């Protein structure tokens, strides 16, 4: 994959034909992180009984629709789920690996 590259110094050079895809990748990565956090919180609330049946249904539907939309956008820009996982070096990956 092409994208930002260095010119041998400290400057980054962006290739115009990949800027949109790289930006979409970054935005989708942030959205995926938030989606996973929301999903974990919802599961905890389901397990503790802190939600009404109607709330559970709405949260479940919302998370499913968000997942569907994320899939559509990834496919549109030729991205795989693993493409959204940033390597944080010694800290490991940003998103848990399935």
Please tell me the predicted confidence (pLDDT) of residue 14: 63
Q: Whole-angstrom Cα distance, residue 84 to residue 79?
A: 8
1, with CB counted inside 10 A (0-12, 13-18, 19+), is: exposed
Q: Whole-angstrom Cα distance, residue 8 to residue 6?
A: 5
Which residue would you say has higher pLDDT here, 97 or 24? 24
- pLDDT classification of 1: cutoffs 50, 70, 90: very low
Q: Whole-angstrom Cα distance, residue 21 to residue 77?
A: 6
> 3-state secondary structure string, 24-38?
HHHHHHHHHHHHHHH
pTM, entire model: 0.70
Q: What is the pLDDT of residues 51-92, one digit of tens each?
A: 899 999 999 999 999 999 999 999 999 999 888 887 777 877
Residue pointed to by tokens 């994208």: 3
């Amino acid at each position: 994959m092409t994208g930002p590259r260095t010119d041998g110094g400290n400057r980054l050079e962006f290739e115009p034909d990949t800027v949109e895809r790289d930006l979409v990748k970054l935005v989708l990565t942030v959205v995926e992180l938030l989606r996973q956090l929301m999903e974990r919180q919802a599961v905890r609330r389901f397990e503790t009984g802190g939600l009404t049946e109607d709330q559970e249904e709405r949260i479940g539907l919302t998370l499913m629709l968000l997942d569907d939309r994320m899939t559509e956008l990834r496919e549109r820009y030729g991205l795989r789920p693993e493409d959204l996982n940033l390597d944080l070096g010694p800290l490991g990956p940003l998103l848990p690996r399935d």
